[in-house]
């Protein structure tokens, strides 16, 4: 049976989402995040599904990929983007990007009309 989340619980889930979005370069585990927002892991996971329609790590991956797109549009180098978004190196970033969008970051950028 699904446990109901209070308004306070949902606020803590939103706080957790803000923490993840502001610290994309860090690897925060669900137990650590749970402690940071003072919410049991089970409620944290349920809250992410309720509010964002995705799990904690899927949400984090989505946020990272959106930030990568923003940084690509700002013409930042891939190495710097990888570091800023929590990927261990440029090739890890390219692999994750390609898995999600079926394009490399360079191909995606070209489709945006920014690179000839």
Q: Which residues contact 12 (CB under 8 A, 6 or more apart)?
A: 37, 38, 39, 43, 44, 47
Looking at the chain, the whole-number percentage of residues with pLDDT higher than 70 is 95
Helix 41-52 and helix 56-73, axial crossing angle in degrees, nearest 10? 50
Looking at the chain, the whole-number percentage of residues with pLDDT higher than 90 is 88
Q: How far apart are CA 69 and CA 114, in angstroms?
A: 12
- 7-62 pLDDT, tens digit per residue, is 999 999 999 999 999 999 999 999 999 999 999 999 999 999 999 999 999 999 99
62-111 CATH pick, 2.60.120, 2.40.30, 3.30.2170, 1.10.10: 1.10.10
Structural domain spans, the chain? 7-60, 62-111
Place of tokens 């919410």: 39
Query: Whole-model pTM?
Result: 0.86
pLDDT of the residue at 3:
64
As a whole number, mean pLDDT of residues 83-90 equals 93
Q: How far apart are CA 97 and CA 69, in angstroms?
A: 9
């Amino acid at each position: 049976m699904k446990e109901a989340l209070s308004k306070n619980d949902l606020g803590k889930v939103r706080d957790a989402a803000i923490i993840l979005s502001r610290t994309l370069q860090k690897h925060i585990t669900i137990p650590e995040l749970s402690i940071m927002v003072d919410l049991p892991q089970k409620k944290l996971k349920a809250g992410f599904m309720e509010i964002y329609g995705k799990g904690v790590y899927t949400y984090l991956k989505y946020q990272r990929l959106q930030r990568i797109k923003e940084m690509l549009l700002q013409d930042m180098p891939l190495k710097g983007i990888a570091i800023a978004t929590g990927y261990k190196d440029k090739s890890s970033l390219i692999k994750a990007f390609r898995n999600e969008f079926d394009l490399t970051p360079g191909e995606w950028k070209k489709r945006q009309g920014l690179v000839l």
